[in-house]
Copies of this chain bind each other. A is one copy, B any other.
Amino acid sequence: MVSERLSQQLQFILEIDRLKGVLRRSLLLESRRRENSAEHSWHLAMMALVLAEHANETVNLLHTLKLLLIHDVVEIDAGDTYAYDDDSHDGKIERERTAAIRIFGLLPPDQAAEMTALWEEYEAQQTPEARFALALDRFMPFLHNYHTGGITWRENRVTRAQVEDRMSPVGTGSDALGAAVAAVVEEATASGLLPRSWPNL
């Protein structure tokens, strides 16, 4: 009744339900609960729909959406890695590669290969779509931090220079979004949310 192929596809679809339980550091604007990686991925896809015109290079929208929808799936096994935590980046790529093999491997071989290639393309940052997708992925939590009063910056004593470094791919992907980051950084520093240095404890 249900083919082996469809059965494998449904197994993958059920498995990725777990991405809804992977929590990021970012807080939602209204409830201030922590965001999960599935709803984050939806939000990024919506950003791509609305902001594609601002990409520096011509991007294929479908391809950009695929990259954004699948790029965090590996976190089901590998967990989310906080942007400003250097230690947790150790071994990140190996953990994620192992996760990609297991999770995408639930799919029929042709689709497993396609999904793995998309994930690797995002990581390698060698195509216009990968660069624009990364720009959105960096820009979004920055906006969230600013609009939730810089709580996660303060908790982690993140400085303006760290944020500017972290946000550099935004301008690579989109001059307009890069300029928006620069404007918000100025405001955040002026209002004390994002200082150049934090006082000694």
**Chain A residues proximal to chain B, CB less than 8 Å:** 1-3, 6, 9-10, 12-14, 16-21, 28-31, 35-36, 38-39, 41-43, 45-47, 49-51, 54, 61-62, 65-66, 69-70, 107, 111, 143-144, 147, 176-177, 179-180, 182-183
Q: How far is the CB of A76 from chain B (nearest CB, A)?
A: 10
Q: How far is the CB of A65 from chain B (nearest CB, A)?
A: 6
CB-based contact A29/B38 at 8 Å: no
Q: How far is the CB of A105 from chain B (nearest CB, A)?
A: 14
Q: Chain B residues near A36 (CB, 8 Å)?
A: 39
CB-based contact B69/A42 at 8 Å: yes
CB-based contact A16/B46 at 8 Å: yes
Q: Chain B residues near A70 (CB, 8 Å)?
A: 46, 49
Q: Chain B residues near A177 (CB, 8 Å)?
A: 6
Query: Beyond A43-B38, A61-B62, A179-B1, is A17–B21 a contact (Cβ under 8 Å)?
Result: no
Give the CA-CA distance A6 to B41 in the complex, in Å: 21
Q: How far is the CB of A46 from chain B (nearest CB, A)?
A: 6
Q: Chain B residues near A1 (CB, 8 Å)?
A: 179-180, 182-183
Known: A10-B143, A13-B46. 16 other contacts (CB 8 A): A1-B182, A2-B176, A6-B51, A13-B47, A13-B143, A16-B46, A17-B28, A17-B144, A19-B39, A20-B35, A38-B39, A39-B42, A42-B42, A46-B69, A50-B107, A65-B65
Q: Chain B residues near A47 (CB, 8 Å)?
A: 13
Give the CA-CA distance A177 to B13 in the complex, in Å: 13
CB-based contact B10/A29 at 8 Å: no
Q: Chain B residues near A107 (CB, 8 Å)?
A: 50
Q: Chain B residues near A43 (CB, 8 Å)?
A: 13, 16-17, 20, 38
Q: How far is the CB of A32 from chain B (nearest CB, A)?
A: 11
CB-based contact A111/B50 at 8 Å: yes
The 5 closest A-B pairs by CB, nearest first: A42-B42, A38-B39, A62-B62, A39-B39, A1-B183
